[in-house]
Structure 1
Amino acid sequence: MRLSAPVVGPYTPMGATLVPGGATFRTWAPTARSVHVVTDAHVDADWSRCTPSDDTRLAPLGDGTWGGFVPGITDGTPYLFWIQGPEGGSEGLKRDPYARELATCPEFPDCPCLVRPAHNYPWHDARWRPPPFHELIIYQLHVGVFWGADPEVPHYGTFLDVVARIPHLRDLGVTAIQLLPIQEYDGHFGLGYAGLDYFSPEMLYQVEDQAELARHLVAVNALLAKHGQAPLTLAELVTGPNQLKCLIDLCHLNGIAVILDLVFNHAGGGFGDRSLYFYDRQPWGDDNRSLYFTDKGWAGGKVFAYWQAPVRQFLIDNACFFLTEYRADGIRYDEVTVIHEHGGDPFCRDLTSTVRYVKPAAIQIAEYWNWDRAYPVTKSPDGLGFDAALGDRLRDALRGMLAEASGGAEAHVRLDRVAEALLPPPGFPAAWTVVQCLENHDVVRWDYDSHAPRAPRVAAVADPSHPHSWYGRSRARVATALLLTAPGIPMLFMGQEILEARPWHDDIRFWSQFLIGWNEVDHVRAKRDFLRFVQDLVALRRQHPALSSEGVRVPQVHERDRVLVLHRWVEGEGRDVVVVASVNEQALDHYPVTLPWPGRWREVFNSDVYDPFPNVAPVGNFGAIHADPASGFAYPFAARMRLPANGVIVLTR
């Protein structure tokens, strides 16, 4: 039976969509005179010599888009658009802005797009449900650097290399990972914030070699088998999109949500002739202004033209694409401040409301640094409607605490600043709506201009001369404990859990200087013990609802003694947790600590146990203390405690 060609119109999906007998194509080029689809059937070895013909021409659909059906297209067919610009413009090949994958030969940016089906990965995560937003514990990583393998072999890691570290992430106890941007960008290394092809996974993160792919398949199927799931075949793991889907799938099976970092404030600066920037060849003068972009630069690229409805739709489609086809669990939006400053507030409101409709369980996190920090997490129309926003008050206060404490026993440590930063930021609708960290990709990245990290990693702040000394270890434990018991969504940066002191960078030309020391964990006790400390601390946060609740108060701060008390509880239920932190270089005996309730309090966590682990004689309270009536404190009860030097004790009622 002969199949009739499908009707193509304004509701046909953008890009290439496989249908019976071929594929539909649709693209936005409102000022073009003609648009063609060029496939490998129309070229020899050199795509640049193709000649479009009438039978490959798309039809104008009346809304600025062009569309048509091309028979004979199958999964993996290479293609490009040929666009003839308006009078005075030019003509040439273009990559599809909605392409699901790019070919690796010829190399980027001369590569064609590949037609891929939307749904050909056999998902195993039917029972997966992401954690509530307030229970998130995020781990941020860069796909290319995270694996940190042999320093003698400088090449990026891949999506499947991250799969190999899922057991580490599972044992760490984090409930989500946040990948730095994974869309295609120009160059052989990069942070990912200079993306060019928004729907296609970065080719550097894909495995093409069949022998290497077969090795990864064994590891993938071993993880699937542990969860009683059917194995994958090699064919199901060949494409780049399926390798990223496999990573997300296996994270879900291991209880880990996946948050993607999307860059909607600008696109990268590698604007080749086939890129989005020159898409419909408009002859608007020497500046080559674009449909998709303004003439305003940002971070080496161009800011999107948010007044263009199809541009807004392109970006909203991109967000929904990763949440549906890739089953991502949330989005971290880069530099929403830039969007706001370039007239993008209506776009942000459309974006957040659409994403919330498409996938209500997906968290939306804004990076926003203007003076009104609560603006992005305020509901529309008064705000932008994001669920959470990045915060820096606690980060700066805790890093300042470490820097001051590194001055020695007599140095003044401003714990009042820490106490203030432990409270929710002004104007935020809930305590959990701020994402807290001590390190992230921006803060601790190596800066080539200054020949130094932008800021040291936590251990190096705690003791600049010897980050793995007792001073470095113990102070880092205090800061990490306060991060993971504070209000908000805590975020760790890759390597932070093993007390990594080296800065990080994505440039593989200097690979050995910036590798995460995974191979050192087994024989460097400081790293091994700190990893156990973080694992147990994360478990503590997950076990006690008060630590992810709204209830928070700092009832006691003593800067001379360098002691701070943090009280957390569940509103209406109690379930109190009290955190006592000391950055005093001496242990304190019989130290009075105010408590909200009388009677017995259990000591459920003591950081002194981890140096070295297990410390058989930690400074502590033998598992419990007793609170009695007392005056002169914020609460009407107090207990005398033994506090370890540079230590944290956690009490539960």
Structure 2
Amino acid sequence: MNAPTPEHSGTTGHRLRMPFGCERDTEGHFCFRLWAPAVRELWLELELASGQGTETVAMESAGDGWYWYTSAVAQPGDRYCFRLPSGLCVPDPASRFQPLDVHGPSQVVDPESFAWQDSGWRGRPWHETVIYELHIGSFSPTGDFAGVEARLDALEALGITAIELMPVADFPGRWNWGYDGALLFAPDSRYGQPENLKRLVQAAHQRGLMVFLDVVYNHFGPEGNYLHCYAPEFFHPDRHTPWGAALHFDGPHSAPVREFFICNALYWLTEYRFDGLRFDAVDRILDDSKPDLLDALAARVQAGPGAERHIHLVLENDHNDARRYRRDRSGRPRQFTAQWNDDAHHALHAALTGESEGVYQDYAAAPWTQLGRALAEGFCYQGEPSAFRGGQPRGTSSADLPPQAFVNFLQNHDQIGNRAQGERLEHLIPAPAFEAALAVFLLAPAPPLLFMGQEFAASTPFVFFCDLEPDLMVQVAAGRRREFAGQAAFSDPARLHALPDPGDPQTFHATSLDWTQRESSPGQERWALHQRLLRVRAQYIRPLLPRLTQSGDWWQHSPTGLSWRWRTRDGSQLYLSTNLGSQPLRCASDHWSNQLTGTPIYQHPAKTGHDWPPYWVSCWITDADGVNRDADRSAAKSAQTDAADAGSGHRC
């Protein structure tokens, strides 16, 4: 089987040719293909949408475990499955749509039937990125793709430039975070049909918004994936992940396995025109190949859709492997664009909450110091031993990477949802502390990520939820209790057993955003703060980012006082200072931050003399001579206005 290549067809649609699944051939007929090396014969069952019944035909063997059959009668809307010698009927692992969920038949889809109207869209450069992460099912009242589309105008007005969808690959049951995907090419039918997702992406592009998708290539969900019945070579016999058997990317029969996942990435980027992908927990992808799966995938993306428009590939990687994000001489990523920077989050969280259990034990001793390093250099752990990981060294040096190689966030789905009660950060610390931290992360150079609802101070939690078959739900609930049993807060067995049940419908419904809070006084204030900060970022910081050199410098003035400096190639400098503590901070009068002249672009609350007020943030720009003569005077006026807002009662 030849490797697939993206085939574009102008405004009539976009299609990725793949060696598996249901594909229309050059004569207009649909060809069905499956890699099933564990069976000696295979049948296709085709249910005709025209009402003319079901036909069952034997598929032909193409050798090496491949089977195929071309139908002269199959049409879009028909349903089909593959029948194994045991009599079990299984869906297509490359199904483009599952109208009856993961255990039902697959549906024939013509990917070229959608009339794309964004042919002029070429994406946006990475330095313009401000990400808004959301979960389709709990973001809007309707819990579907159309519900997100209806809110795009508000998100555009907020100032974000990209939305990131938590995984949409078909999962079992009524609701799921998405990381239990069973059929990775099929958007979950609860969210809508394939054309509904395409309409969402197109509508975002029409507003100048990028759309990223979270994908999971480290495991399949525990229910609804049948590969083990006919292609056990997908799974490694000896390696395991926290979610079961590891995928087998480097064995003697791994070529179709690797192609399956590489095609999945190309599929979302080609047929749905996503602008980028976020790869979940790639440290759990175990592959000793040269090149490994990630390297091979990045090369295929760059040679394919990445050669025609801006495509951004972002990793979640606990290994802190800086090699993945190296830039070429022009500043373009050689492989991957950036990594979610858990270090920056964990350091800030430990500093502001005082929490020291679990992963936060690695940051409890010196959180402020680690926060300074994380915003300046990217990783806190660049080879140092990690107590949370049993003393094993973690990470590699990241000081030579630009800030754009890291995505920073106050919170995301993991950092909220993996808490026992799903509390947001703003529920754990005072509002002024949250808003000062927000200013720091939105004004620092690294692309920031917001989690849905934080822009209007949502009170809803984001608790872990899923809807699997009953026996699995018992195991999930028990595993959830084991996860928190070692924490002091749950030493009381009664409290431990009172944890939200992931399978209880109320657990899911409690996470749905209450958009009426957007119109409340706290909601409007928080929204206005996000808008103000993102305007400052767009007007003054964004133009500097392509010219930034490598990492920044940083200073710690006291346990809660930090300053950073980032330099551009032409001599301009971006400065950011903060006191994230509840007490005023006295800075030495001869420190550079008190002597520097330049253009203030944000300062809140007002500061007089050398004292830094509680929860104070200041950001300014200079040119090579110490003064930014090219900056608009409105920047200084804006900073003065922000300070005046503090005096008029604005919470910051």
Q: How does 1:623-638 map to 2 (within 5 A)?
A: none
Aligned to 2:412, what secondary structure does the other structure show? coil
Matched, 1:278 2:243: no
- Which of the residues 402, 411, 416 maps onto 1:430? 402
* Aligned counterparts of 1:445 and 1:344: Cα–Cα separation in 2: 36
**What displacement does 1:103 show?**
2.2
**What displacement does 1:567 show?**
2.2
Contact 1:21 1:73 in 2 (8 A): no
Amino acid corresponding to residue 301 of structure 2 in structure 1: V
- Which of the residues 118, 126, 139 maps onto 1:146? 139
Aligned to 1:157, what secondary structure does the other structure show? coil
Contact 1:440 1:493 in 2 (8 A): yes
Amino acid corresponding to residue 98 of structure 2 in structure 1: L
- Which of the residues 575, 594, 599 maps onto 1:602? 599
* Aligned counterparts of 2:294 and 2:80: Cα–Cα separation in 1: 33
**What displacement does 1:247 show?**
0.8
* Aligned counterparts of 1:477 and 1:258: Cα–Cα separation in 2: 26
Contact 2:102 2:170 in 1 (8 A): no
2:424 is matched with which residue?
457
Aligned to 2:222, what secondary structure does the other structure show? coil
**What displacement does 1:584 show?**
4.4
Amino acid corresponding to residue 276 of structure 1 in structure 2: L
Contact 2:164 2:212 in 1 (8 A): yes
- Which of the residues 210, 214, 233 maps onto 1:261? 214
2:118 is matched with which residue?
125
Contact 1:94 1:279 in 2 (8 A): no
Aligned to 2:113, what secondary structure does the other structure show? coil
2:641 is matched with which residue?
none
Q: How does 1:343-492 map to 2 (within 5 A)?
A: 346-360=292-306, 361-370=310-319, 372-377=320-325, 385-404=335-354, 415-424=368-377, 425=379, 426=382, 427-428=397-398, 429-445=401-417, 447=419, 451-453=420-422, 456-462=423-429, 472-492=430-450
1:16 is matched with which residue?
22
The C-alpha deviation readout for 1:123-165, integer Å capped at 9, x for no partner, is 1222222222233221111111112x3xxxxxx6001111111
1:577 is matched with which residue?
574
Taking a change above 3 Å as real, the CA distance of residues 642 and 114 of structure 1, as seen in their structure-2 partners, is: same
* Aligned counterparts of 1:331 and 1:252: Cα–Cα separation in 2: 16
**What displacement does 1:497 show?**
1.9
Amino acid corresponding to residue 205 of structure 2 in structure 1: H
* Aligned counterparts of 1:119 and 1:554: Cα–Cα separation in 2: 51
* Aligned counterparts of 1:564 and 1:596: Cα–Cα separation in 2: 10
Contact 1:502 1:514 in 2 (8 A): yes
* Aligned counterparts of 2:179 and 2:242: Cα–Cα separation in 1: 9
* Aligned counterparts of 2:135 and 2:171: Cα–Cα separation in 1: 14
**What displacement does 1:190 show?**
1.0
1:646 is matched with which residue?
615
Contact 2:129 2:448 in 1 (8 A): yes
The C-alpha deviation readout for 1:29-61, integer Å capped at 9, x for no partner, is 23432222211159999x9xx783xxx222222
* Aligned counterparts of 1:169 and 1:42: Cα–Cα separation in 2: 39
* Aligned counterparts of 1:553 and 1:404: Cα–Cα separation in 2: 26
2:7 is matched with which residue?
none
Matched, 1:535 2:531: yes
Matched, 1:314 2:260: yes
* Aligned counterparts of 2:437 and 2:595: Cα–Cα separation in 1: 28
Matched, 1:245 2:198: yes
* Aligned counterparts of 2:551 and 2:288: Cα–Cα separation in 1: 37
Contact 2:402 2:550 in 1 (8 A): no
**What displacement does 1:343 show?**
6.6
Amino acid corresponding to residue 113 of structure 1 in structure 2: S
* Aligned counterparts of 1:110 and 1:353: Cα–Cα separation in 2: 34
Aligned to 2:32, what secondary structure does the other structure show? strand
1:167 is matched with which residue?
153
**What displacement does 1:246 show?**
0.7
Amino acid corresponding to residue 458 of structure 1 in structure 2: L
Taking a change above 3 Å as real, the CA distance of residues 173 and 62 of structure 1, as seen in their structure-2 partners, is: same
* Aligned counterparts of 1:519 and 1:593: Cα–Cα separation in 2: 49
Taking a change above 3 Å as real, the CA distance of residues 651 and 387 of structure 1, as seen in their structure-2 partners, is: closer
Contact 2:214 2:278 in 1 (8 A): yes
Taking a change above 3 Å as real, the CA distance of residues 506 and 79 of structure 1, as seen in their structure-2 partners, is: same
Taking a change above 3 Å as real, the CA distance of residues 347 and 577 of structure 1, as seen in their structure-2 partners, is: closer
Contact 2:210 2:274 in 1 (8 A): yes
Contact 2:580 2:614 in 1 (8 A): yes
* Aligned counterparts of 1:43 and 1:243: Cα–Cα separation in 2: 23
* Aligned counterparts of 2:214 and 2:290: Cα–Cα separation in 1: 18
The C-alpha deviation readout for 1:314-371, integer Å capped at 9, x for no partner, is 111111011101101111111111113677962222112112211223111121112x
Taking a change above 3 Å as real, the CA distance of residues 174 and 41 of structure 1, as seen in their structure-2 partners, is: closer
Aligned to 1:452, what secondary structure does the other structure show? coil
* Aligned counterparts of 2:368 and 2:113: Cα–Cα separation in 1: 54
Taking a change above 3 Å as real, the CA distance of residues 365 and 578 of structure 1, as seen in their structure-2 partners, is: same
Contact 1:486 1:547 in 2 (8 A): no
Amino acid corresponding to residue 264 of structure 1 in structure 2: Y
The C-alpha deviation readout for 1:408-456, integer Å capped at 9, x for no partner, is xxxx996333222221235333321122222111111165xxx533xx4
* Aligned counterparts of 2:339 and 2:607: Cα–Cα separation in 1: 37
Which structure's CA Rg is the greater one? 1
* Aligned counterparts of 1:31 and 1:499: Cα–Cα separation in 2: 53
Contact 1:547 1:577 in 2 (8 A): no
More helix by share: 2
Aligned to 1:340, what secondary structure does the other structure show? coil
Q: How does 1:602-621 map to 2 (within 5 A)?
A: 602-608=599-605, 619-620=606-607
* Aligned counterparts of 2:88 and 2:441: Cα–Cα separation in 1: 53
Amino acid corresponding to residue 425 of structure 2 in structure 1: V
* Aligned counterparts of 1:375 and 1:590: Cα–Cα separation in 2: 38
Aligned to 1:119, what secondary structure does the other structure show? helix
Gaps of 5+ in 1: 1-10, 85-89, 150-155, 207-239, 281-289, 406-411, 463-471, 609-618, 622-639
**What displacement does 1:501 show?**
4.8
Amino acid corresponding to residue 222 of structure 2 in structure 1: G
The C-alpha deviation readout for 1:585-629, integer Å capped at 9, x for no partner, is 356799848448987533322333xxxxxxxxxx257xxxxxxxx
Taking a change above 3 Å as real, the CA distance of residues 205 and 44 of structure 1, as seen in their structure-2 partners, is: same
* Aligned counterparts of 1:566 and 1:593: Cα–Cα separation in 2: 17
* Aligned counterparts of 2:530 and 2:588: Cα–Cα separation in 1: 26
- Which of the residues 257, 280, 291 maps onto 2:233? 291
Aligned Cα RMSD in Å? Answer: 3.3
Contact 1:17 1:23 in 2 (8 A): yes
Amino acid corresponding to residue 311 of structure 1 in structure 2: V
Amino acid corresponding to residue 562 of structure 2 in structure 1: L
Aligned to 1:102, what secondary structure does the other structure show? coil
* Aligned counterparts of 2:416 and 2:291: Cα–Cα separation in 1: 30
The C-alpha deviation readout for 1:376-408, integer Å capped at 9, x for no partner, is 43589xx99433222222112222221259xxx
Aligned residue pair count: 526
Aligned to 1:651, what secondary structure does the other structure show? strand
Contact 1:264 1:315 in 2 (8 A): yes
Taking a change above 3 Å as real, the CA distance of residues 244 and 583 of structure 1, as seen in their structure-2 partners, is: same
Q: Output the TM-score relative to the length of structure 1.
A: 0.73
Question: % of aligned pairs identical?
Answer: 26
**What displacement does 1:182 show?**
0.4
* Aligned counterparts of 2:290 and 2:451: Cα–Cα separation in 1: 30
